[in-house]
Amino acid sequence: MAEIVLERLSKFFGPKRALRDVDLRIRDGEYLVVLGPSGAGKTTLLRTIAGLLDPDGGRILMDGREVTRLPPYERQVAFMPQTYSLFQHMSVWENTTFSPTVKGWPEGERDLLAREMLSMVHLIDRREAFPRELSGGMQQRCALARALAADAEVLLLDEPLRALDARLRIELRAELRDLIRHVGTTTIHVTHDQEEALVLADRIAVLRNGELIEVGPAEMVYSRPSSPFVANFLGEMNFFEARSFPSEGGMVRLVAGDTNLLAPKREGLEGTVLAGIRAESCGVQAQEWAAGQGLEGVVKRRLFMGRRISLEVQTEQVGLFKAKPLTAQANWVKEGDPVFVVLPAEHILLFPVPKGGVAAALEVE
């Protein structure tokens, strides 16, 4: 097991800076998820830690030992790339047992380990198959089993669930988390999927344009994000400008058009602010039953998504508003219905108004 420290890690590709002075400490046994849009530098970060890319600046320490210039095989890391890199001439079983065999594990123990890993990824019945006989999702699961069976001190997983069917992905991510927690391997898992990050991570690190812009426990990054970008990346947000006035009990009063809303106070913010609330935090009621604080509007679009219903509501005060209430609570809503969108005070987030405008602050790249 190992603690990893990154100090001012930088990487250039020609003139383009892929990583900018990344400082990060990953605890021994921690499950860190690196989240960010495509092109943010996530894969570059993993490849640098794996030793497959040389950084242009900064240091990498594992358990206090500097490994910045060490070749990959001297780092005790197992890297699962997005391309899987399975051995094409070896079966699923041989791929999975490769690393323990090379390390000279006793056969009995090796087989037990491989069997356990292949069962977890639901490939035990296909252990005789060769990679070319497997679907993309199965190849990915085989690569995951191989990485897990490598018994490394550090696991580096690059979008390990991306090629899987939606339903299987949900099943496997829970199992993956339980298994790695149990084994206690330090893990860095890269993804662009916010739900995956929330479910798996001890801490989430958000990368944008090569910069580490936020790091914290999943609940904190979700509930108290430091910027509109992070807020929106962890769950679709509604943003609107409002004037903020002092109120009581750690709250402020927001005025947007003719609407008054209470929101938790944020130190150092006064005057005009950017207020935001997640679509999934908004409830919906019939206007005649309206209670609590919120906005009146007319439903322009309704999309059924299963667990939730996705609504776009045209409001007078703040324009088009998105709400994703649970189906059980909003099954009755139809397009054209007048509704009351409930905005619970505790879910409203406040930010300074971004200088370049909201759109630019949210731009994925």
Partner 1 sequence: MPRIEAVDLAKRFGRITALEKCNLTIEDGEYVAILGPSGCGKTTLVKLLSGIWTPTEGRVLVDGKDVTDLGVEDRDLGYVFQNIVLFPHMDVWRNATYGPWVHDRAPADVDHVGKEVLELVKMLHERGMFPRELSMGSQQKVALARALANRARLLMLDEPLSALDTRVRLDLRYALRRIVKDLGLTAVHVTHDQEEAMSVADRVVVIRKGRIVEQGPPERLYNQPQDVFTANFVGESNFLEGAVRRIRADWAFVELRSGYILRVPAKGLLEGDPVVLAARPEWLTMSKEGFGNVIPGRIENRRFLGATERLQVRLFTSDLVSVDVPASQSLNTDRDVMVAFHETNILVYPRPYAGLQEALKLE
Nearer to partner 1, 37 or 57 (CB): 37
135 lies in the site for partner 1, by CB under 8 A: yes
Q: Kindly tell me which residue out of 5, 27, 29, 37 binds partner 1, with binding defined by CB under 8 A.
A: 37
Spatial CA neighbour of 22 closest among 117, 226, 150, 36: 36
How many Cβ atoms are within 10 Å of 288's Cβ, its own excluded? 7
Spatial CA neighbour of 190 closest among 215, 225, 156, 224: 156
137 lies in the site for partner 1, by CB under 8 A: yes
Rounded to whole angstroms, the Cα distance separating 292 from 311 reads 19
Number of continuous H segments (helices) and E segments (strands) in the chain: 10, 20
HSE-up (13 A, CA, CB side) for residue 169: 16
Is beta strand 154-158 parallel, antiparallel or unpaired with respect to 77-80?
A: parallel
Q: Kindly tell me which residue out of 14, 15, 38, 334 binds partner 1, with binding defined by CB under 8 A.
A: 38
DSSP letters for 76-131:
TEEEE-TT----TTS-HHHHHHHHHHHTT--HHHHHHHHHHHHHHTT-GGGTT--G
Q: Kindly tell me which residue out of 1, 90, 170, 179 binds partner 1, with binding defined by CB under 8 A.
A: 170
Degrees to nearest 5, angle at CA 257 with 253 and 263: 25
281 lies in the site for partner 1, by CB under 8 A: yes
124 lies in the site for partner 1, by CB under 8 A: no
335 lies in the site for partner 1, by CB under 8 A: no
* Residues 185-214 contacting partner 1, CB under 8 A: 192-195, 198-199
How many Cβ atoms are within 10 Å of 8's Cβ, its own excluded? 13
CB of 280 to partner 1, least distance (A): 4
222 lies in the site for partner 1, by CB under 8 A: yes
168 lies in the site for partner 1, by CB under 8 A: yes
Nearer to partner 1, 187 or 244 (CB): 187
227 lies in the site for partner 1, by CB under 8 A: no
327 lies in the site for partner 1, by CB under 8 A: yes
Rounded to whole angstroms, the Cα distance separating 210 from 214 reads 12
166 lies in the site for partner 1, by CB under 8 A: yes
CB of 124 to partner 1, least distance (A): 12
Q: Kindly tell me which residue out of 3, 21, 202, 280 binds partner 1, with binding defined by CB under 8 A.
A: 280
**Residue 217, token pair as written in the block:** 């426990």
Enumerate residues 6+ apart whose C-beta is below 8 A from 320: 300, 312, 313, 314
CB of 254 to partner 1, least distance (A): 20
Nearer to partner 1, 62 or 361 (CB): 361
Nearer to partner 1, 53 or 199 (CB): 199
Q: Residue numbers of the site for partner 1 (CB under 8 A)?
A: 37-38, 122, 135, 137, 165-168, 170-171, 174, 192-195, 198-199, 218-219, 222-223, 234-236, 278, 280-281, 301, 303-307, 310, 326-328, 331, 346, 364
